Amino acid sequence: MSPKRGDDVPSPPIGGEWRLRFATNEAAKGWGDLCAEAPGNTRRCFEALRINPQSLTDPDRQHRLRGRLATRILGGAELPQWEYEVTAGGRVRYLIDEPARTVHLVYASPQHPKDTDT
């Protein structure tokens, strides 16, 4: 999707930073909701994913998903799926494409995803 008038200007990655992209329209909308509800925490999430989307330093906040949620197909490729806890309920799920150094946001919402409630 090409940017248009009124859209936010994305911050380009520099140095060793990762590129962040929305993989779904729902993730883009949910990101906006998170930014409105918890801007500081959402900014910290943005910075963490840009610097190291595979960080294991705070596994309660940022971790790889397991079981049936461990991977997801995007563009024909099976990619590892991770989650970042933005708020008590708010989550961002993302796929990591290491060769392209790109993080694809597939879910973002102030509400906890229902698929882990089983």
* pLDDT tens by residue, 53-94: 999 999 999 999 999 999 999 999 999 999 999 999 999 999
Cα-Cα-Cα-Cα dihedral sign, residues 71, 73, 75, 78: positive
Q: Is the pLDDT of residue 118 over 80?
A: no
What's the pTM?
A: 0.92
Q: Is the pLDDT of residue 52 over 90?
A: yes
Q: Are 34 and 59 in contact (CB under 8 A)?
A: no
1 or 16, which is more confident: 16
40 Cβ contact list (under 8 Å, min separation 6): none
Instruction: Domains for the chain: give ranges and CATH numbers.
Output: 31-111 (3.30.2310)
What does the alpha-carbon distance between residue 86 and residue 43 come to, in Å, rounded to a whole number? 9
CB atoms inside a 10 Å sphere around CB 44 = 14
3-state secondary structure at position 26 = helix
